[in-house]
Structure 1
Amino acid sequence: MGKDKRIKNITSTVLSQFWGKLERIDFDFKFKDGNWKRLSHEAYGKSDGVAILLYNPETRSVVLSKQFRIPVYVAGVSEGYSIEVCGGSVDEGESPESCVIREAQEELGYHVSNLKFISTVFLSPGIVREQVHLFIGEYRDSDRIDNGGGLEVEGEEIEVLEMSFKEALNMIDSNEIIDARTIMLLQYIRINKLL
């Protein structure tokens, strides 16, 4: 945790470590008026993550995935299915670049050689400590090495979707694409006129 003279007496209690670590963090915080107050927050996370949007400048298409997400289901949205960019968790000792190349092969079935880093973001900084490293990558049909679909040992069942860039943008407007990483990367492609 970073050093800030307005924060002191930090304690952490692990509440759960089932998949990621959920911890309660208690600390004293000095407000602008000079008063100190004891605050408590929860922070959740496993490791940093990656996400990549594959795009084809020749066909003006993108590759996305569709998979079941229990938080989406519990929220009562789209029967729990999310259309999104490829992503995953960075393993210990692995670089974000190596991770995103591995995930693109496992989930989408594409070999990525033309990788561009876009940004590192927090998607929900009020509770989740995961930083997500965002990438884009050009692909050609010849970069497809298998059908993708994810890893059975990780409980993944991923449908690979190749669609026109225009169709993907329309899916944002129709709320079929609700994943923040996907929206950011599609908008990056649009703003920078890559397709």
Structure 2
Amino acid sequence: MKQPSDRLRNVRRETLSDAWYTLYRYRYEYLRSDGRWDAQVREVYDRGNGAAVLLYDPGRSRVLLTRQFRMPTLVNGNDGGLLVEVCAGLLDNDHPEVAIRKEILEETGYAVGAVEKVLEAYSTPGAVTEKLHYYLAAYSPEMKTGAGGGVEAESEDIELLEYTYEEALGAVASGDIRDAKTLVILQYAALFGPLRQGWQPGQ
């Protein structure tokens, strides 16, 4: 099979908006599997890449999640606009591990030790460029060094929520947790990580 670069020609890009992040329109021709060139138009939203982390307390069998207002969810059926999520944020040109440590401290007030990268995944590949780097990190009450809650200058107003492992997985099953990145990392942790029955650190 031809490589993707061999299947594209006449690629043109125009900027539609850069008021917050950048929205592009791409026009190109794509070589279909049947050998025909197909003229296509796609809009692509570039907001940079991000990182997300599941904070878990192995001693107390708990995870630490956040809840904050998300306007796009409000306009698409999420009554009240509040969403339960793992700690996450954009890289802003930092290395993913540097970025996620910064987000953990800003959002939760915890200064954690080791962070373990477990996944990379594209968030919404049909329209958004963002790739997320997923991490696991252990926390405990004595690691609390600040108030958390996010950065007020960035209009963040973040509430912290602790769930037992069973409560977190129950919220996945019931649909109470509806944020995609949070579902991904909780499912990973249940299959391969600290939420799996019999899991031990270092496995």
TM-score for the superposition, normalised by structure 2: 0.92
Q: What are the within-5 Å matches in structure 2 for residues 25-174 of structure 1?
A: 25-92=26-93, 94-174=94-174
Q: d(CA) in 1 for partners of 2:58 and 2:112?
A: 15
Unaligned runs of 5+ residues in structure 2 are 196-203
| Pair 80,181 (structure 1): closer, same or farther in 2 beyond 3 Å | same
AA matched with 2:158: I
CA deviation string 1:73-128 (max 9, x = no partner): 00021421110000001112x10000000000000111121200011110110001
Task: Give, in whole Å, the separation in 2 of the partners of 1:19 and 1:130.
Answer: 15
CA offsets, 1:50-87, max 9 Å, x none?
Answer: 10010011100000000000111000214211100000
Residue 16 of structure 1 corresponds to: 17
Structure 1, unpaired ranges of 5+:
none
Query: Could you say what secondary structure the match of 1:170 adopts?
Result: helix
Q: Report how many residues are paired.
A: 193
* DSSP-derived class of the 2:6 partner: coil
- Report the equivalent of 2:201: none
Preserved contact between residue 171 and residue 177 of structure 1 (Cα < 8 Å) = yes
Paired residue type of 2:127: I
Q: Is the 8 A contact 1:114 1:139 kept in 2?
A: no
Runs of 4+ in 1 over 4 A off after TM superposition: none
Give the superposition deviation at 1:147: 2.0
Q: Is the 8 A contact 1:13 1:23 kept in 2?
A: yes
> Identity over aligned residues, as a percent?
35
SS at structure 2 position matched to 1:103:
helix
Relative to the length of structure 1, the TM-score reads 0.95
Shift of 1:193: 4.9
Please give the secondary structure, in 1, of the residue aligned with 2:16. Answer: strand
Deviation string 1:26-73 (CA, Å, 9 cap, x unpaired) is: 101111111112100011122110100100111000000000001110
Partner of 2:67, secondary structure, is strand
- State which drifts further: 171-180 or 94-103: 171-180
2:188 matched to which residue of 1? 188
One-letter amino acid of the counterpart of residue 116, structure 1: E
Alignment correspondent of 1:4: 5
Deviates more, 1:60-69 or 1:170-179: 170-179
